[in-house]
Amino acid sequence: MDSVSILDKLIAFATVSRDSNLDLIRYVAELLEAHGIASQVIPSEDGHKANLFATIGPAGMAGVMLSGHTDVVPVDGQDWTLPPFEMTSRDGRLYGRGAADMKGFVACAISACIKASKLPLKTPLHLALSYDEEVGCIGVRSLIEMLQDAPQRPLLCIVGEPTNMQVATGHKGKIGARAVCRGREGHSALAPLALNAIHLGCDFVAALRAEQERLATQGARDGDYDIPYTTVHVGKMNAGVALNIVPNLCTLDFEIRNIAADDASAILDRLRAEAKRIATAAASAAPEAAIDIEIFNTYPGLDTPAVSQAVAFVKSLTGANGTIKVAYGTEGGFFSRDVGVPTVVCGPGSMAQGHKPDEFVSVEQLSRCDDMLEKLLDRLAEDTPLAI
């Protein structure tokens, strides 16, 4: 099957992160099996979702791994003019949720696996599909554990997030955290006798903004990024029950997206110190005042040297002259840091289309990805071992 036909099938599976991806995984496993390719399905702890790993070619050897995620973001509240979970082909574009992010690459990778099954590969091709990437690269972690225990680890990983088929060597790391601010409740008519937890939260937001200003003006820089410094962002704030009650609890979710030159843990330590300072100052009015910070998600950044053999190899497949870095995160940081696999990001489409209504990938981009992977198969079929 060609990549467009496979993409048509993949889009029809509504694999929003909050829902199961098992039907899609079964489809891929059965399709591979029909072409003589065995795959390993790795279920989540609750059995509601699963990863998939397959190898084509000689066993017991290190190969090249193609990695992609199977989940997509919701379409709720978006003004789609086309059916989101039904592929629509129009004017050289293929529309549907996940077309760009990133079922387009997954379709190309599956098509490449089917082609590989008919070739006498000397170096194996690996396929790794994960779940829950869109909510913090959660599902891939069981794949990481499997690869850490494997006798042979991949020579190279290509993560197929949309880059317009440019070769990306890096992305920022991320810490997702929640600040739990505790005050003292009371009647709003007697507000000065209470301690408003929202006020504590606002004071902490001011500390976050001050840290962002420090990073922007004094922090490390990496000019390969659109935003060349580490960023701090507040995304959610929840508090209050009724207008006439001084709230005793306020929670806010924030994130740190750090470039490689910055230590995210050190930034978080500074923010914890600021939280303690704010709470200590408020304790004179209410001893129960506190701001506790909990980390609920984290993933490492990716920073593959642009002069590495791995990057040169992928550039030779795409014809690229230069490299880029991307703003969004991927599972690539885990493969690089925890498994020691040289990793790049390169896939069809643009993230400018991702997460939006009427998401699409162009037929031209899919074709370029197919061409890259066909060149990869040619290299995997050569008698000379890959120098990566």
Provide the domain limits for residue 206. 173-299
**Which of 299, 328, 346 is the C-terminal boundary of a domain?**
299
| Assigned domain for 95 exists | yes
How many angstroms separate the CA atoms of 355 and 77, rounded?
Answer: 12
Which residue from 353, 186, 373, 181 is spatially nearest to 281, judged by alpha carbons? 181
Tell me if 106 sits within 8 A of 160, measured CB to CB.
yes
Residue 207 CB coordination number (10 Å): 20
Digits of tens for pLDDT over the chain (388 positions)?
899 999 999 999 999 999 999 999 999 999 999 999 999 999 999 999 999 999 999 988 899 999 999 999 999 999 999 999 999 999 999 999 999 999 999 999 999 999 999 999 999 999 999 999 999 899 999 999 999 998 889 999 999 999 999 999 999 999 999 999 999 999 999 999 999 999 999 999 999 999 999 999 999 999 999 999 999 999 999 999 999 999 999 999 999 999 999 999 999 999 999 999 999 999 999 999 999 999 999 999 999 999 999 999 999 999 999 999 999 999 999 999 999 999 999 999 999 999 999 999 999 999 999 999 999 999 999 988 787 8
pTM: 0.92
Active-site residue, from 8, 71, 101, 211: 71
Judge whether 33 counts as a catalytic residue: no
Residue 12 CB coordination number (10 Å): 16
| Assigned domain for 293 exists | yes
Do 36 and 177 fall within a single domain? no
Judge whether 71 counts as a catalytic residue: yes
Do 222 and 80 fall within a single domain? no
Do 107 and 156 fall within a single domain? yes
User: Going by C-beta distance under 8 Å and a sequence separation of 6 or more, which residues neighbour residue 20?
Assistant: 48, 49
Task: Kindly give the interhelix angle for 363-380 and 3-11, rounded to the nearest 10 degrees.
Answer: 120
**Which of 299, 332, 352 is the C-terminal boundary of a domain?**
299
Do 241 and 106 fall within a single domain? no
Domain CATH code at residue 370: 3.40.630.10
Do 162 and 27 fall within a single domain? yes
Beta bridge partners, 195, equal 184
Active-site residue, from 8, 132, 133, 274: 133
Which residue from 318, 321, 26 is spatially nearest to 158, judged by alpha carbons? 318
Number of domains in the chain: 2
| Assigned domain for 9 exists | yes
Do 335 and 359 fall within a single domain? yes
How many angstroms separate the CA atoms of 8 and 12, rounded?
Answer: 7
How many angstroms separate the CA atoms of 154 and 184, rounded?
Answer: 55
What would the 3-class secondary structure string for 27-94 be?
HHHHHHHHCCCCEEEEECCCCCCEEEEEEECCCCCCCEEEEEECCECCCCCCCCCCCCCCCEEECCEE
Which residue from 195, 234, 227 is spatially nearest to 211, judged by alpha carbons? 234
Domain CATH code at residue 256: 3.30.70.360
How many angstroms separate the CA atoms of 249 and 237, rounded?
Answer: 11
